[in-house]
Chains A and B, each alone.
Chain A
């Protein structure tokens, strides 16, 4: 890379003094620019410079909180008390805690059901949106609404719909003659967990649908035409052509979704607060309850970090599978 001509500092019509100044500044500036140019020619230096802002940001906002969280989980810190090192005592305590065990079970059920639901409905929606119809763009855009609306806001609307006393769903079902007594959407432990799963599916489905739609649009129509000519029906065309081609995209979308769902917080916090009787507590809501509400920072951090190895294993399996699919 050629060094650039040094620019005049004063500019305009200069006198003798200005000319002299330019003469003394120019060689030094040229040397500096040349040195910088040479340094940037070095790929290692350039790479380091380009990466450093990202490393700093990741260090500040990801690594530091993570390490700090690990440290707190190894202490008996409470709110207003830095605490002392207690080793793995907090982990031992949470693993013997029945509420934590219930939160673990809930988290796995919640993640599994919500992921399958979002994938199935998201794929179905994507296939529908991939067809040609009037106002296609408007419908596609509107499908994103559940994903765009702030979760707390939409969850409050669901809370109203599931309200034990004033549920519009119960009212509608009752007046349609479908039910005779109220359904305890948020009062029965199983129904409460299913209700939060339903809201999660509603919120997350558009992400799947739009991502899978992008994948579907890369599938050549000629493949479908050729298969149709060979006598393949709709299901066979989907299963033999569409599914294998969108599988890599599907796996990546599922990976993101599993991570988000496993660590979900705000939906459950706003809808049930973990109740009734802890039947909807997830890792994140229980860790919040223990660490932030009750002020047991060490124990709360341990409850929060306990999800890390489990999530790590899930992610590793998924990444391995994605590589296998892509390599096939």
Chain B
């Protein structure tokens, strides 16, 4: 094949663009108005979860096309069930090939540390430019001194509840404690509208409910040293006893087999009166106002409010699912992947996605708390600042690969599920202790 000749003008233009790229990065690429030379013909593969807010995925799909033009690369967005992300990551790492960028959830960075590229050089400027990351997402992604993924968003967990049903049983405001929640739930269940919560093997809602529930009673997986297993405590046993009674008195007992989508369906069909969830239930009711109606024929969206978790003896605790973008060490396009993440996480690109998410996903950085969007809908306000206070799996120890392992094996969730199924509280705690000792030992 004959080499393509370029004239002097073309040479000056291309070398100018390349110099700009080398000198100032993405801004220079954009001002040069042509793709960086290194990325010509390159391909980038991003694998993320299937968002519970479809509008968010639609915005991302459009942005992939824009990214392709801006970076001079073909960017592919693959979306898979969140429960299938970990198996895909394992398969990709083991075979040394697969997506360049994976959606990392929770504190998975600790589990996949060796297979993730150090992205401190892009994570820190992104955080700095947007008011700083929330501390828990830093803890989730910064392994040792290096960011192993760039925090992108947080899906806040709040309890969505039917205000009319709660009012009918005398609860003018949302219960402040677990005890109050149980009493209200008992009346609601008697009316045929139980509280719905999963205790099944599913990635988000199950750990999102049971970990903070345990913390609020004073239960913890390990001591601060991150090694000494501490789950079999008086506090944990008390929490289990209460949970079994709460489940029987107030909850939809089918929740043992629910996945992350089951409570959404149950709520929107009018089968349950409350559930801990991201804001996807409310956002779906806004999207299809005439599809989801209350038993009185009113639009479901007019009957939904959100509230934080009730408090236990040790206070109110939350867990919010954090989502990050991690570049795989086997990727041959690591430099391009970094440019892409910088591009995607920039304010101009994050904002349209943030608006489409309507508060289901909030920023991993603090600046987004101040966005004008929050003035639009007071029902969503509890999500605005939700990310300010939450802690990670493995509490009271630091986040670690061991904590991720315990999460992936559903030890805490199954401890409560076993008790709900009839195992005594003491035996359930003892079982969890044995499993955690195998992990942390």
Seen from chain A, the residues whose Cβ lies within 8 Å of a Cβ on chain B are 79-81, 93, 96-99, 162-166, 182, 184-189, 192, 272-279, 288-297
- Would A277 and B91 count as touching, CB distance under 8 A? no
B112 touches A295 (CB 8 A): yes
- Select one of A162, A166, A295 contacting B269, CB under 8 A: A166
| A273 contacts B86, C-beta separation under 8 Å | no
B90 lies within 8 A of chain A by Cβ: yes
In this complex, what residue of B is CB-closest to A277? B417
CB <8 Å contact, A187 and B438? no
Residues 153 to 210 of chain B near chain A (Cβ within 8 Å): 199-202
Min CB gap A152→B, angstroms: 12
Given A79-B90, A279-B421, are A294 and B254 neighbors across the interface (CB < 8 Å)?
Answer: no
Contact A164 B256 (CB under 8 A): yes
B309 in contact (CB, < 8 A): no
- Expressed in whole angstroms, the minimum distance between the Cβ of A12 and any Cβ of chain B is 37
Closest to A276 in B: B256
B257 contacts partner chain A, Cβ-Cβ < 8 Å: yes
Say whether B113 contacts A80, CB under 8 Å.
yes
Chain B residue nearest to A275 in the complex (CB): B201
B103 to chain A, nearest CB (A): 15
Q: How far is the CA of A59 from the CA of B112 in the complex (A)?
A: 32
The 9 closest A-B pairs by CB, nearest first: A164-B254, A80-B115, A186-B257, A277-B417, A80-B114, A187-B256, A275-B201, A276-B256, A294-B408
User: Which of B113, B254, B410, B438 contacts A165 (CB under 8 A)?
Assistant: B254
Q: Can you identify 28 A-B contacts, CB atoms within 8 angstroms?
A: A79-B90, A81-B114, A98-B431, A99-B409, A99-B435, A164-B252, A164-B253, A164-B256, A164-B258, A165-B265, A187-B256, A187-B257, A188-B421, A192-B257, A273-B201, A273-B202, A275-B201, A275-B256, A276-B199, A276-B201, A276-B421, A277-B256, A279-B421, A288-B87, A294-B86, A295-B89, A296-B405, A297-B94
In the complex, which of the residues A81, A164, A182, A278 has the most CB atoms of chain B within 10 Å of its own CB atom? A164
Q: Which residue of A lies closest to B259 (CB)?
A: A273
Contact of A293 among B86, B256, B258, B431 (CB under 8 A): B86
In the complex the two chains form, is B115's CB within 8 Å of A79's CB?
yes
Q: How far is the CA of A120 from the CA of B410 in the complex (A)?
A: 37
Q: Is the CB of A79 within 8 A of B112?
A: yes
CB-based contact A277/B421 at 8 Å: yes
- Dominant SS at the A interface? loop
Q: Mark B424-441, 1 if CB is under 8 A from A, else 0.
A: 000000010011001000
Cα–Cα distance between A296 and B438 once the two chains are bound (Å): 13
**Quick one: which of B201, B408, B438 contacts A96, CB cutoff 8 A?**
B438
**Closest A residue, CB atoms, query B415:** A277
CA distance A81 to B93 in the complex (A): 9
| Cα of A98 to Cα of B256 in the assembled complex, Å | 20
The 8 Å CB contact of A276, one of B86, B87, B257, is B257
Interfacial chain A residues near B254, Cβ < 8 Å? 163-165, 182, 184, 187
Contact B265 A293 (CB under 8 A): no
Residues from chain A with a CB closer than 8 A to the CB of B91 are 292
**B266 on interface, CB distance cutoff 8 Å:** yes
Given contacts A276-B256, A277-B414, A292-B87, contact A98 B434 (CB under 8 A): yes
Chain A residue nearest to B113 (CB atoms) is A80
Chain A residues whose C-beta falls within 8 Å of the C-beta of B405 in the assembled complex: 294-296
Docked pose: A276 CA to B418 CA in angstroms: 8
A79–B114 CA distance with the chains assembled, in angstroms: 8
Partner of B262 from the list A97, A165, A188, A296 (CB cut-off 8 Å) is A165
Min CB distance B204 to A, Å, is 14
Q: Are A165 and B252 in contact (CB under 8 A)?
A: yes
Given A99-B435, A277-B414, A278-B414: A79 in contact with B89 (beta carbons within 8 A): yes
Q: Does B245 count as interface, using CB distance less than 8 angstroms? A: no
- Find B200's partner among A166, A184, A276 (CB 8 Å cutoff): A276
Q: Which residue of B lies closest to A186 (CB)?
A: B257
Centre residue among A79, A93, A279 by max chain B CB count within 10 A:
A79
